[in-house]
Structure 1
């Protein structure tokens, strides 16, 4: 099983890592593209139509949280398989940024759920009550969550954009882009 297409190696990510990565990438890109669309185009027919093509804002947040737990578990379980002899400054910065990604992917939806609780409205996800509806407003919960949710979300968006650029731009002469580890051939070819 050591050479399995499912497992990570220093040369490439396996199918489990790829599926988790691209599912999260889709959710985050969808979230940011629709948010920018709403800001630029407003609440018109175009954005209402586009919004029907993917998950709603709150749904994306809950799905990111739901995928984050198995993604962290798989990252920890695969850590030794991924280790590369390259311990360059760039590789260490990339590891730090990935850690920040994980923290932000947890914090942003968590703050939205905290805000839902603090507003007294609660939050229901696909018929399941995730946050109780209390009917009581708690300002000390909602005010910081209101401010931090958006600020941290846009910080995540900037980091995602930087991540995409760093993945597709070669860094050394003749070095293939890092994105090949995530989309390249299975089996190390």
Structure 2
């Protein structure tokens, strides 16, 4: 679970960075097309890794929350994780729909064609493009909040939260 957590985290930051960089390249160039394909492949890979992570999470018992946390803190932590998962699924799905409605099927690593579930549609393409972008920014804000809360609970509250997810870090 720890390895999946960090693999997904690295993938999300990489996909976001590539997305920002490729959209700033003017016109259609070989580099931009290559980056768009890498971005799509990473999105599909992340979708699969997040699906696996959710399956593992639901199949195993989660660590208990600190004993002194109240119902409100536990509720907020669980709600935050649910929203993170929803956004982690929504962003690649919206990107996939954006690609399809632009008339570009997704072929994972240039080898495995994904099903074309919706055809080319310029109006829907604009909608899915905007949604993909907004949800990606929303996901990054949630990830930043997730990081800040982990740091707060670890360093300010001295709860050793980071020791659960960083191998070798001492749990206080």
TM range (shorter): 0.7 to 0.9
TM-score normalised by structure 1 residue count: 0.70
Q: Could you tell me which residue of structure 2 aligns to residue 56 of structure 1? A: 38
Q: Deviations over 1:123-177 (max 9, x none)?
A: 111211114398x522453232111100000000011111112112347866144
**CA RMSD, 1 decimal:** 3.1
Q: Taking CA–CA contacts closer than 8 Å with sequence separation of 6 or more, which of the two structures ends up with the larger relative contact order?
A: 1
Counterpart of 1:71 in structure 2 is 53
* Residue equivalent to 1:6: none
Question: Where does 1:94-173 land on structure 2 (aligned, <5 Å)?
Answer: 94-126=77-109, 127-132=111-116, 137-139=120-122, 141-170=124-153
Which residues of 2 match residues 4-19 of structure 1 at below 5 A? 17-19=1-3
The ranges of structure 1 where at least 4 consecutive aligned residues each deviate by more than 6 angstroms after the TM superposition are none
- Please identify which structure carries the higher helix content: 2
Number of aligned positions between the proteins: 161
Q: Where in structure 1 are there 5+ consecutive unaligned residues?
A: 1-16
Contact 1:121 1:132 in 2 (8 A): no
Q: TM-score, normalised by structure 2?
A: 0.77
Q: Distance in 1 between matches of 2:64 and 2:157?
A: 22
